[in-house]
């Protein structure tokens, strides 16, 4: 097992996480709102993204209302450091607004609602849904799954697949067996880092220019 844990340690140190993720989750926010913070962080700082989510929650009260709103309306409630006003400000924030709308539409299409709290009840099934939330992305989805798992590494089919490809665990379709196999691989206190790193590997496995398994191979030497 020491060879496996050593390899895991090198990957946690060497794999670059390309998606900006929160330093800590937004307090008293739903899983849906945590995902909204993540997608807004591609255009805003974490503090601005969190303030924007709280602003939209206060204004609309229902995320479906945000989903069907015009991008300009959403932009008017986003918090940023942009000093210009009027249409110039709205135009600067249009891309952030469109990204948020696309995320909410993605959730609606995949879950037929505006709620991700059911992820907490079945992480294995939640992994299947997250894989289809393309706007949130693999690592963004991993962060939401980690929250749904109350700070544990969320066992699901995609994670098991990449760990088995790396010869870190045997392939299984059992959530219980996968969770048991994970226990010896995760450095204490590094559950989030482990979750994000291996989902980054999952996302980059088939990268067209430099598949991440080439980077993994160098780390394995």
CA torsion sign for 60, 54, 24, 213 is: positive
- For the chain, the farthest-separated pair of C-alpha atoms sits apart, in whole angstroms, at 60
Mean pLDDT of the chain: 90
Residue by residue, DSSP assigns 137-177 as -HHHHHHHHHHHTTTS----HHHHHHHHHTTSS---S-HHH
pLDDT digits (tens, 9 = 90+) for 129-171: 999 999 999 999 999 999 999 999 999 999 999 999 999 999 9
Question: Percent of the chain scored above 70 by pLDDT?
Answer: 90
Average pLDDT over residues 9-27: 94
Q: DSSP code of 194?
A: H
CA torsion sign for 159, 164, 170, 173 is: positive
- If we measure between CA atoms, which residue out of 22, 84, 87 comes closest to residue 48? 22
Residue 215 has pLDDT above 90, yes or no: no
User: Long-range pairs for 160-166 at CB < 8 Å and ≥24 separation?
Assistant: 161/202, 162/198, 162/201, 162/202, 162/205, 163/198, 165/205, 165/213, 166/7, 166/201, 166/216
Residue by residue, DSSP assigns 87-150 as HHHHHHTHHHHHHHHHHHHHHHHHHSSS--GGGGG-HHHHHHHHHT-TTT-HHHHHHHHHHHTT
Residues 6+ apart with CB under 8 A from 94: 71, 72, 75
- If we measure between CA atoms, which residue out of 115, 114, 112, 111 comes closest to residue 128? 111
Residue 191 has pLDDT above 80, yes or no: yes
Residue 83 has pLDDT above 80, yes or no: no
Q: Which residue has the higher pLDDT, 163 or 84?
A: 163
Q: Which residues of 177-207 are buried (b: 16+ CB within 10 A; e: fewer)?
A: ebbebbeebbeeeebbbbbbbbbbbbbbbee
Residue by residue, DSSP assigns 43-64 as TS-HHHHHHHHHHHHHHHSSHH
Which pTM value belongs to this model? 0.91
Average pLDDT over residues 166-183: 93
Q: Which residue has the higher pLDDT, 219 or 14?
A: 14
CA–CA distance, 187 with 6 (Å, rounded to integer): 10
Average pLDDT over residues 109-128: 96
Instruction: Check residue 221 and give its pLDDT.
Output: 44
CA–CA distance, 97 with 102 (Å, rounded to integer): 9
């Amino acid at each position: 097992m020491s060879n496996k844990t050593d390899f895991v340690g090198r990957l946690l140190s060497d794999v670059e996480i390309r998606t900006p993720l929160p330093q800590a989750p937004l307090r008293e926010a739903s899983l849906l709102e945590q995902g909204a913070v993540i997608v807004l962080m591609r255009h805003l700082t974490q503090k601005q993204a969190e303030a924007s989510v709280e602003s939209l929650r206060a204004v609309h009260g229902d995320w479906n209302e945000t989903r069907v709103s015009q991008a300009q309306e959403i932009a008017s409630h986003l918090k940023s450091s942009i000093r210009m006003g009027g249409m110039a400000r709205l135009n600067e924030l249009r891309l952030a607004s469109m990204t948020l709308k696309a995320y909410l539409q993605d959730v609606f299409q995949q879950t037929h609602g505006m709620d991700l709290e059911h992820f907490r009840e079945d992480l294995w099934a939640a992994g299947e849904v997250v894989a289809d939330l393309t706007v949130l992305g693999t690592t963004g989805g991993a962060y939401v799954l980690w929250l749904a798992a109350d700070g544990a590494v969320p066992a699901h089919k995609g994670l098991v697949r990449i760990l088995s490809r790396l010869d870190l665990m045997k392939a299984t379709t059992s959530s219980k067996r996968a969770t048991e196999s994970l226990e010896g691989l995760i450095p204490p206190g590094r559950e989030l880092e482990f979750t994000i790193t291996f989902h980054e590997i999952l996302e980059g496995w088939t990268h067209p220019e430099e598949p991440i398994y080439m980077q993994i191979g160098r780390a394995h030497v």
